[in-house]
Chain A
């Protein structure tokens, strides 16, 4: 009964190729977020959305773009993947801004750029 799913779960891609990660939620949450998690850095916000077609940058947005055409879907695109973008990517959603009562996270996507 996962309320938020990510696809793919694992991906290996080559440097310079475009990559799109998908996040799908069935909670009807207005707010959605993309984070990356790296050893020594913790969770860092890439982009977030506060409604359909409304998005904004997080602290590590360079090299990433997002789109949200429907409430339930939030896409993260790496326009030209680099090795520094090898990471675990988590999507999260919340009914209130910024997870005022906490986030629900997806299961994550492990991306390797070779």
Chain B
């Protein structure tokens, strides 16, 4: 069973702070990693993808991948109330092109 684990939260951060969301996965052969944002009552929206070790930055978002430790994280700098949502981690296990989703972490950014 390929597993993707996330802390369900909620993670509460003040406006302007850095929000750090973490995800661990069980399959060492995993190659592709994604972060989706899902607002309440809406569908998931892809915000970041990462395929190699290290950091990948896109605006206020940074995805970090460490394959040796089998974790991927998402940092949101200068958090805004509009960032309040559930963040889903998705991982493509090795040998499969179908991603496994984590259960998501709820983020609350308070003014």
| Residues in A lying within 8 Å of B, measured CB to CB | 40-45, 48, 58, 90, 97-108
Contact = CB atoms under 8 A, between A and B. Distances in A.
A99 B103 contact: no
Interface in B41-60: 42-46, 49
Nearest to B89: A42
Interface size class of B (residues with CB under 8 A): 20 to 34
Contact of B46 (A40, A58, A102): A102
Interface in B67-111: 88, 90, 92, 96-99, 101-104
Contact of A100 (B36, B92, B102, B103): B92
A104 B36 CA distance: 10
B25 interface: no
21 contacts: A42-B88, A42-B101, A42-B103, A43-B88, A43-B101, A44-B101, A90-B44, A98-B92, A98-B97, A98-B99, A99-B90, A99-B92, A100-B32, A100-B97, A102-B36, A102-B49, A103-B46, A104-B46, A105-B44, A106-B43, A107-B42
Contacts of B43: 90, 105-108
Centre residue among A100, A101, A104 by max chain B CB count within 10 A: A100
A101 B97 CA distance: 11
A98 B103 CA distance: 18
A42 B103 CA distance: 4
Nearest to B45: A105
B95 to A, nearest CB: 11
Given A40-B103, A105-B43, A107-B43, 12 more contacts: A42-B103, A43-B101, A58-B98, A98-B92, A98-B97, A99-B99, A100-B97, A102-B34, A102-B36, A103-B46, A104-B46, A107-B42
Contacts of B90: 99
A43 B97 contact: no
A97 B97 contact: yes
